[in-house]
Amino acid sequence: MTELDTNSIRKEFPILNQTIRGKRLCYLDNAATTQKPQFVIQKISDCLTNEYAAVSRGVHYLSQNISAKYEAVREQVAKFINAKNPREIIFTSGTTAGLNLLAYSLSELLLKNDGAILITAMEHHANLIPWQMAAKRYGRQLRVLPITANGELDLTNFEKLLDGVKIFACTHSSNLLGTINDIKELNRIAKSYGAITVFDGAQAIAHNRVDVQEINCDFYVFSGHKIYAPTGVGVLYGLGELLEQMPPFLTGGAMISTVSFENTEFAQYPQKFEAGTPPVIEVIGLGAALEWIEKHGGVEKFAAYKNALRAEFEAELNKLDGITIHGKSQNKTALTSWTMNGIHPHDVGTILDDCGIAVRVGHHCAEPLTKLLQVPATIRASFAIYNNSEDIKQLIEGIKTVQRFFNC
């Protein structure tokens, strides 16, 4: 398909064909998780019905067949982010698992003797707490790169903060502000100071064409469920030379070469980091989602459409009184966070739910950032390819209903 037919695309998502509290379902919580198209649902169902078996666990036909398909998805993911070698793709249970793996293994490799860790003020808890714990474990300093008033990274003292840093961990895109960071440039500067770079791509992967070779990063991590795949599967991309040196995070089956009661020799990467029974169904679902995205024109076309929706929504939102939008970078993903004067975000979310509208309220697992904004929480609407102007109209009317309820 050369042009996006979003009305037809919307029909591919069965869950959207329902009403909530008697209202048309307006699902705008896509930064939390996306809904799944019938194509992905069917692929998962077909696998469970006709092909399911344990990966790399048997010589029988079913095991050999599903193992080949599982590894084909690894190749598919490598192509999707332009990794040099499919072996540099490690399947995890999600972004959080990938970042925890790195916080453990990289810290074990790099922080035993010296070094600091640098993160940013806009990190999700998943790219903050693991590094915080690593810093405490090794007695190292955890530094924080601040943000500006419009929600962008403040790079004034970036190079000064990098002095002595062994690991620089940064979000590609903020899940609260929507800001897209120039990670190629951040990576260049950080590596010039000798830092190993880790980028959290959970929010960005659905909105940007990611090319890890062009970025030249050491590690890039994302989740499947943010891009129309099921939960329970994520991707950790890492440079082979570093993966070779890193110790495993989890141990058990599949990640070994030989075992005796006295000693264990680990398998090569990626298997070294994939302990336990592999997430067969989830990985098949991820492959289906990537196939579906490419079938409909690819990430770039999706992003252009979704960004147009966000701009349309923010233009309507700015016409209302008592609204503050948080995150005013010119380079944003398709999400908007805002607050309403005198109204708690949780009250807003409750009333919107009664209007059939699903948004996210809270600190979005970015509590330190919320505190910097000096608000208790925000309301967040995030757009996917199945959203449209009707969703925006419904949301704006819902916000007006909130204002009338509180006499604002």
Catalogue the active-site residues. 365
Distance CA 230, CA 219 (A): 23
Distance CA 378, CA 35 (A): 22
Stated as kind and residue range, the H or E segment containing 236 is strand 234-238
Distance CA 221, CA 237 (A): 6
Beta strand spans in 50-195 (E): 89-92, 116-120, 142-145, 165-171
- Beta-carbon contacts of residue 396 (< 8 Å; ≥ 6 apart): 313, 316, 317, 320
Stated as kind and residue range, the H or E segment containing 95 is helix 95-110
- Note whether 368 and 121 are within 8 A (CB): yes
- Helix 389-405 × helix 345-354 angle, to 10°: 120
Most distant CA atoms of the chain, gap in Å: 73
Q: Which of 103, 110, 111, 105 is nearest to 131 (CA)?
A: 103
**Cα–chain-centroid distance for residue 376?**
24
Pairing assessment for the beta strands 234-238 and 89-92 based on DSSP bridges: antiparallel
Tokens (6 digits) for 55: 């990966």
Question: Which 8-state DSSP code applies to residue 153?
Answer: B
What is the amino acid identity at position 258? T
- Note whether 35 and 384 are within 8 A (CB): yes
- Note whether 204 and 172 are within 8 A (CB): yes
